[in-house]
Amino acid sequence: MSIDSVSDLWDTLLGAQPDPPGLLVLVTAVIALVVVAFRPLWRVARNAVTIAHEGGHALVALLTGRKLRGIRLEFDTSGLTLSAGRPTGPGMMFTLLAGYIAPSLVGLAGAWLLGGNRITLLLWVAVLLLLLMLINIRNVFGAVSVLVTGAIVFAVSWYAEPQVQAAFAYVSVWFLLIGGVRPVFELQKLRSRGRMPESDADQLAGVTHVPALFWVGVFLAVDVAALVIGGFMLAGQWLPAVSTAP
């Protein structure tokens, strides 16, 4: 690859793309909302939320000095991240806390990148994170799930037209922001029926001696805040585009 080619690639990666069409942000938000609200679509798309959830556990485990043992993603959209270290203390607490807030925080970071029209950069960062996660996957379905997701994101970033890239990026970010909230309600529904005695919230209760319901509330507060802030960021892209439309 020549120096000019590297320079062009770097400019493409870091450069800002054109402002999105006027209604793109609104339409993609509606699409993401339908995917999250419609159960048959949610059952499939929820795998992306699980990937972000388990990736959050894994990243925070590493950042807090724990040893990552591996990640499993299951066909029923559940997941498991195993790490070694002290069973109590801040490292374990933050590792447990990270899962249910990770999708929403990833969506918030994506909204920030889209606010600067860094669509290509957003897609390539997503591919890189998926590749790093793939290294730690320990089951076949998990590996296939991450590979397929990464391949789709890469194909869009490399081959698709700018308008398609923008639509894909906005749907993805909206989906993480909106879809990050629903699992918290699902968690509490299952807990109330006694079907998740070892949930992240219950494990946090064991580590911190603070009731599990408090931690469910923390998950929900962070996710809703990310949705509101990210929504304002994305709406900031929509309103100027609408106001300047002929």
pLDDT of residue 135: 95
Mean pLDDT value of segment 114-141: 94
Is it the case that residue 1 has pLDDT exceeding 50? no
Helices (H), the chain: 3-14, 24-37, 39-63, 90-115, 119-134, 140-159, 162-179, 182-192, 200-208, 212-243
Predicted TM-score of the model (pTM): 0.91
Dump the DSSP string for 6-39: HHHHHHHHHSPPPPPPTTHHHHHHHHHHHHHHSH
Is it the case that residue 245 has pLDDT exceeding 90? no
Q: Calculate the CA dihedral of residues 198, 201, 202, 204 and round it to 10 degrees.
A: 110
Can you give the residue ranges of every domain in the chain? 44-241
CA distance between the termini of the chain: 43
Task: Write the pLDDT tens digit of every residue in 68-113.
Answer: 999 999 999 999 999 999 999 999 999 999 999 999 999 999 999 9
pLDDT of residue 81: 96
Q: Which residues contact 153 (CB under 8 A, 6 or more apart)?
A: 123, 126, 127, 130
Of the pLDDT bands very low, low, confident and very high (cuts 50, 70, 90), residue 52 is very high
